[in-house]
Amino acid sequence: MKNVDMKIDGDQLTIKIDLAKNFGDSRSGKTIMVASSEGNQTIDGFDDMKIGLNVFRYKPKEHKPED
């Protein structure tokens, strides 16, 4: 996982992500990746449960010069 910290307390799952980080462009190049589970992952201690997580931000729109 990238920039994802998961903690289980009883039946409560807490996810911690540093929103100031980024890991570069997404595959499409349209967004900037902030955090990812990198696919569906099993939750520790809950083998029948999965988590799939992506946190991203859109890139700023580029202004094209007018002709």
| Residue 51: strand pairing partners | 41
Write down the residue that tokens 């991203």 correspond to.
56
What does residue 6 show for φ and ψ, rounded to 5 degrees?
A: -110, 140
Residue 16's pLDDT is 98
pTM of the model: 0.80
Secondary structure (DSSP) of 4-65:
-EEEEETTEEEEE--TT----B-SSSSEEEEEE-SS-EEETTEEEEEE--EEEEEPPPPPPP
9-53 pLDDT, tens digit per residue, is: 999 999 999 999 998 998 888 999 999 999 999 999 999 999 999
Higher pLDDT among residues 63 and 8, named by residue: 8
